[in-house]
Amino acid sequence: MMDRLLEKILEDVKESSIDFPQESLDLAIWDKKDDTYTLREDVKKKILGVLEEYPDVSLLEIAEEIHIVGSLCTNQYLDSADLDIHIVPNMEKLRKYLK
């Protein structure tokens, strides 16, 4: 009975919400030296360029903090993962743009 149930589940379930861990962080995004990962310089330049060119306001100019978040910061990423950037604005600088 359990074998038939498992067969039926495997037949019906086409995807899994479980992402198996990668051996390391994505080396298209991160440089690895010893056991330390740092953001690749070309990726950093691309991110900063996008933030600087945002319409109407330079997000780089108003950013108090910039965080890279999501699966690309872990070994749980998929090859199709996107790069998530969170910006914590400096509220005083942001208010100048909101006037």
How do residues 43-69 score in pLDDT, each as one tens digit? 999 999 998 888 888 898 899 999 999
Q: How many domains does the chain have?
A: 1
75 falls within a domain:
yes
Task: Please report the pLDDT score of residue 26 as a whole number.
Answer: 93
37 falls within a domain:
yes
Q: How many CA atoms lie within 13 A of 1 on its CB side?
A: 0
* Contact (Cβ atoms closer than 8 angstroms) between residue 50 and residue 58: no
7 falls within a domain:
no
1 falls within a domain:
no
Res 79 pLDDT > 80: yes
2 falls within a domain:
no
Q: Give 89 or 21, the one with higher predicted confidence.
A: 89
Task: Please report the pLDDT score of residue 1 as a whole number.
Answer: 64
Which residues, including other chains, have CB under 8 Å from residue 69's CB and lie 6 or more apart?
84, 85, 86
